[in-house]
Amino acid sequence: MQHLKKASSKLKGSMKKRKSRKLRDQEDMQKIAKSAPSKPVPRGFKVVERYPLYEPFAHVAIVQNPKTGEYKYILDELQLDALEQGIYNRVLDILLAEIESPKEEIDDPRRFFATEARQIVDKYRISLGWLPDVSWYKILYHAERDLVGFGRIDPLMRDPNIEDISCDGVKKPVYIWHRKFESIETNLVFHEDSELDNMVVKLVHMAGKHVSSAFPIVDASLPGKHRLAVCYRREITPFGTAFTIRKFREDPYSIIDLINLGTFSEGMAAYFWLCLENRASIMVLGGTAAGKTTALNALACLIKPGSKLITIEETAELNLSHENWVSLIARRSYGLGENQTGEVTLFDLVKTSMRHRPDVLVVGEIRGNEAYVLFQAMATGHGGMSTMHAEDIDSAVKRLTQKPMNIAPAYIPLLNIVLSVQRVHLKLEGETKALRRVMEINEVANYEDYRLIFKWNAAKDDYALTFNDSVMLPFISERTGLSDKDLREEIEQRRRVLHWMREQNIRSYRDVAAVIAEYYARPDEFYTKVGLREVEPLATTRHS
């Protein structure tokens, strides 16, 4: 009994210590926030938006020059003074020597590091020299940023509004692509070659790859699936090391998100839902950063639950909700020069995937001889989805039928549906915004015989639909025994399901997949349960 009382007393004491430490931490954070000087706004600019990236250490101010309309991204990050920097350098050496790698895989390396680093710093704090608590928090922040984070660009990686981060070389400002303000210059600059080179080498190593003067080009996936492209040193870039990071959304856009954003209409999504159920092959076209992969990922939400999916990519970007999903990633060679030892190409992966009996084969992007195997797979009855850099269906077919793809014109009809996505600028609510829209959807009847099903109307920002020349509906009708009228009613019914999800704010890709699974399991009961009311007809559907 006495033993239990002692244990209880120890536990209470430990909890009190934790609470008091938590309160001290909160108070110290408030002190840091109050004492931190904010970055001065460039002369002639005014602040249009300000928000935190990592309280209280990093904030951002978006500023604009009223005369030119130019925006700038001002990163405001707490810096170490000379005394703090000296102790920080010593702390870094101690942490590198004392922190042991975890014996088991951990979900959050940052949290593990923060806990371990704090304990080690507390142990050596007195011998390192006196500093106020506020300074130690700053030192621990910079240690976490530089050792387990992304270095100087770590605050940018924390900004959910940033899609891309790019650096064109030494003494050049880092640029970002902001969801609201598009491409804007930041106040972050790498002044020395060594500083930029060391950070990029660290990023490449985080991705599990190697970069050097012998191998100056790297394309890899960072932790969190962010895509990294590097041109190292001045081997191929006269301004010094250049890199671009395309950030990966932790919560990817679902088909409902893209309907809400206006990229798709409800009728369009319902049409794809029916076609994918019947193993239609789909290709998404568009330029760089037009939203091809996002659209492909969202369409995959509509594939029937239980289907076996195999995705094939050079760097992992797709994130599907299906349980029965195999992700295959290409691998670069280990050899030098013409010796391609260990290389696994997209072509190899597409061939291998056929042995895994997929229902749907998804190729992240086709650009070479893997296109031939993909079309062979579609010829054997597999569903196929892919993206390709092209403006419209005519230019896409020209690319497919020329080197290096060399698809015979007779194989082109195996591609059932082609949609093109573009980034457009529209004036909404008094301001011009960059938005992504599906420009048109074509069905392939034959080589050079394409049937327009959906077309975007720029003046009204809506989608006009016609099924009069459709070749997919007669094909599905023949396979299922349903009449043309039945299929149109089925598309309308599915559109109402999508509309109901929008009304209920069911938008997460996993939640959308769960609703679709329930719809397939009990369509009539589901339709009655949700009590869908009549909505506007399918013929023309505005995105809003």
- Residue 131: partners with Cβ closer than 8 Å, 6 or more residues away: 83, 84, 87, 139
Q: Report whether pLDDT(215) > 70.
A: yes
- Cα–Cα distance measured from residue 455 to residue 466, given in angstroms and rounded to the nearest whole number: 9
**pLDDT for position 156:** 96
pLDDT digits (tens, 9 = 90+) for 90-102: 998 998 888 887 7
Under the banding of pLDDT at 50, 70 and 90, the label for residue 216 is very high
pLDDT digits (tens, 9 = 90+) for 467-479: 888 999 999 999 8
Mean pLDDT of 69-81: 92
pLDDT digits (tens, 9 = 90+) for 8-63: 555 455 445 544 555 555 666 666 655 555 677 888 899 999 999 998 899 999 99
pLDDT digits (tens, 9 = 90+) for 96-129: 888 887 777 777 888 888 888 888 888 888 788 7
Phi first, then psi: what are they for 118, rounded to 5°?
A: -65, -40
Spatial contact of 433 and 457, defined as CB atoms under 8 Å apart: no
Mean pLDDT of 381-395: 91
Q: Report whether pLDDT(1) > 60.
A: no
Q: What percent of the chain has pLDDT over 70?
A: 88
Under the banding of pLDDT at 50, 70 and 90, the label for residue 235 is confident
Question: How high does pLDDT run on average in the chain?
Answer: 85
Under the banding of pLDDT at 50, 70 and 90, the label for residue 306 is confident
Mean pLDDT of 484-489: 91
Q: What percent of the chain has pLDDT over 90?
A: 46
Residue bearing tokens 């924390």: 158
pLDDT digits (tens, 9 = 90+) for 14-26: 445 544 555 555 6
**pLDDT for position 340:** 58
Q: Report whether pLDDT(237) > 50.
A: yes
**pLDDT for position 141:** 93
Phi first, then psi: what are they for 125, rounded to 5°?
A: -60, -45
Domains of the chain: 255-535 (3.40.50.300)
Q: Report whether pLDDT(541) > 50.
A: no
- Cα–Cα distance measured from residue 396 to residue 390, given in angstroms and rounded to the nearest whole number: 5
Helix (H) or strand (E) holding 47: strand 46-54
Residues in the chain: 544
Token reading at 44: 């002639």
